[in-house]
């Protein structure tokens, strides 16, 4: 997180995210919040944020030659921190950089700042795949391109969110072909649509500062029968995605207030 926002980060109780580096590659992009990105109140939705993060990351690796068709990236864990909501028609400046590495995965920090003061910080862990869809160690010029901005930081792709409790509330969640990606799996952003819908049904105001985490355990395919498993937690909820009886992903959303 940018140094100027570290006090607000601490007041809200957010987990600490690494600041923008002084050296190394930093990539910039711009998006304007459109009708398809905003909820009825005009707030930039979580699923739209996830698309922005995905798109600016893709733009970066395409420019450096670390994109498809030779390299694919599968998100493992995503953290989104909304300090101040971004709103409809706001121009958003996206700043992204590599923030850590492991043998076959890397973390990417992204800062999204709106022209009217909206601010969202995020970090995602991506697994590096080859053409056959298998994790593969980094080689070539990866460290020369992306290593400097990490400052030697090593990361772990280990997942942290637990399974849902036995009494979790179950809701069927139909899958649609437009939600599938080029690998034939449920797209990253589509998971966040379920988080948004759950929050709306439970009457939560997502214009407040919030921290949301989504961990992807295994892909979800169009043929899977998907259920959402909801359980309340302090100032938010946890949501598990059960595909054909197996937990495939878990999300956690927590609203934050200064001093909580």
Burial category of 67 from C-beta neighbours within 10 Å (exposed 0-12, middle 13-18, buried 19 and up):
middle
Radius of gyration of the chain from its Cα atoms, rounded to whole angstroms: 18
pLDDT at 130: 86
Helix (H, G, I), strand (E, B) or coil at 230: strand
pLDDT at 1: 43
DSSP for 179-192 reads GB-TTSBB-HHHHH
- Taking the mean position of all CA atoms in its chain, how far away is CA 201? 22
Query: Do 195 and 82 sit in the same domain of this protein?
Result: no
- State the sign of the Cα–Cα–Cα–Cα dihedral 171, 233, 215, 119: positive
Query: Do 140 and 174 sit in the same domain of this protein?
Result: no
pTM score of the predicted model: 0.94
Bridge partners, residue 38, by sequence:
44
Decide if 159 is inside a domain: no
Confidence of residue 2 (pLDDT cuts 50, 70, 90): very low
Query: Do 112 and 205 sit in the same domain of this protein?
Result: no
pLDDT at 260: 58
Q: What is the pLDDT of residues 5-64, one digit of tens each?
A: 556 676 788 999 999 999 999 999 999 999 999 999 999 999 999 999 999 999 999 999
Once rounded to an integer, what is the mean pLDDT over residues 224-236? Answer: 96
- Residue 215 near residue 159 (C-beta atoms within 8 A): yes
- Point out the domain boundary residue: 115, 150, 185: 150
The backbone torsions φ and ψ at residue 178, rounded to the nearest 5 degrees and listed phi first, read -65, -15
Query: Do 220 and 133 sit in the same domain of this protein?
Result: no
Query: Do 47 and 122 sit in the same domain of this protein?
Result: yes
- Residue 129 near residue 67 (C-beta atoms within 8 A): no
Confidence of residue 3 (pLDDT cuts 50, 70, 90): very low
pLDDT at 73: 92
Residue 91 has pLDDT above 70, yes or no: yes
Query: Do 141 and 17 sit in the same domain of this protein?
Result: yes
Query: Do 102 and 12 sit in the same domain of this protein?
Result: yes
pLDDT at 5: 59
- Residue 189 near residue 51 (C-beta atoms within 8 A): yes
- What are the strands, taking DSSP E only, across 10-168? 27-32, 72-84, 91-101, 105-114, 119-129
- Selection from 93, 94, 95 nearest residue 26 by Cα: 95
Query: Do 23 and 142 sit in the same domain of this protein?
Result: yes
Q: What is the pLDDT of residues 95-115, one digit of tens each?
A: 999 999 999 999 999 999 999
Query: Do 141 and 202 sit in the same domain of this protein?
Result: no
- State the sign of the Cα–Cα–Cα–Cα dihedral 136, 138, 139, 140: positive
Query: Do 245 and 187 sit in the same domain of this protein?
Result: yes
Once rounded to an integer, what is the mean pLDDT over residues 191-218? Answer: 97
- Point out the domain boundary residue: 116, 150, 184: 150
Residue 199 has pLDDT above 50, yes or no: yes
- Point out the domain boundary residue: 100, 115, 150: 150
Q: What is the pLDDT of residues 114-159, one digit of tens each?
A: 999 999 999 999 999 988 888 999 999 999 999 999 999 999 989 9
- Residue 127 near residue 135 (C-beta atoms within 8 A): yes
- What are the strands, taking DSSP E only, across 53-195? 72-84, 91-101, 105-114, 119-129, 169-172
- The total domain count for the chain is 2
* CATH number, domain containing residue 145: 3.10.129.10
pLDDT at 11: 73
Percent of the chain with pLDDT over 90: 85
pLDDT at 69: 83
- Selection from 250, 248, 251 nearest residue 221 by Cα: 248
Query: Do 145 and 214 sit in the same domain of this protein?
Result: no
| Domain that residue 121 falls in | 3-150
Tell me how far apart the 2 most distant CA atoms of the chain are, in Å.
Answer: 49
Burial category of 180 from C-beta neighbours within 10 Å (exposed 0-12, middle 13-18, buried 19 and up):
middle
Once rounded to an integer, what is the mean pLDDT over residues 185-204? Answer: 97
Query: Do 116 and 41 sit in the same domain of this protein?
Result: yes
Peptide bond into 69 cis (omega under 30): yes
């Amino acid at each position: 997180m940018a140094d100027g926002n570290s006090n607000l980060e601490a007041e809200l109780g957010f987990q600490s995210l690494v600041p923008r580096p002084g050296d190394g590659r930093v990539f910039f992009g711009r998006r304007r919040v459109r009708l398809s990105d905003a909820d009825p109140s005009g707030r930039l939705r979580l699923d739209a944020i996830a698309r922005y993060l995905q798109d600016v990351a893709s733009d970066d690796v395409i420019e450096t030659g670390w994109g498809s068709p030779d390299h694919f990236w599968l998100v493992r864990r995503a953290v989104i921190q909304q300090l101040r909501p971004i709103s409809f028609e706001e121009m958003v400046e996206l700043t992204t950089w590599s923030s850590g590495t492991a043998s076959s995965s890397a973390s990417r920090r992204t800062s999204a700042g709106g022209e009217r003061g909206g601010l969202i910080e995020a970090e995602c862990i991506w697994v590096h795949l080859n053409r056959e869809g298998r994790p593969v160690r980094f080689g070539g010029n990866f460290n020369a391109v992306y290593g400097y901005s990490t400052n030697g930081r090593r990361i772990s792709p280990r997942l942290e969110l637990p399974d849902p409790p036995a009494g979790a509330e179950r809701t069927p969640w139909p899958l649609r072909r437009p939600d599938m990606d080029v690998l034939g799996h449920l797209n990253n952003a589509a998971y966040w649509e379920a988080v948004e819908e759950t929050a709306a049904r439970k009457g939560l105001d997502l214009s407040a500062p919030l921290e949301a985490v989504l961990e992807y355990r295994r892909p979800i395919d169009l043929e899977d029968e998907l259920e959402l498993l909801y359980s309340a937690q302090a100032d938010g909820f946890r949501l598990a995605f059960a595909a054909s009886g197996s937990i495939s992903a878990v999300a956690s959303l927590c609203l934050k207030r200064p001093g909580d």
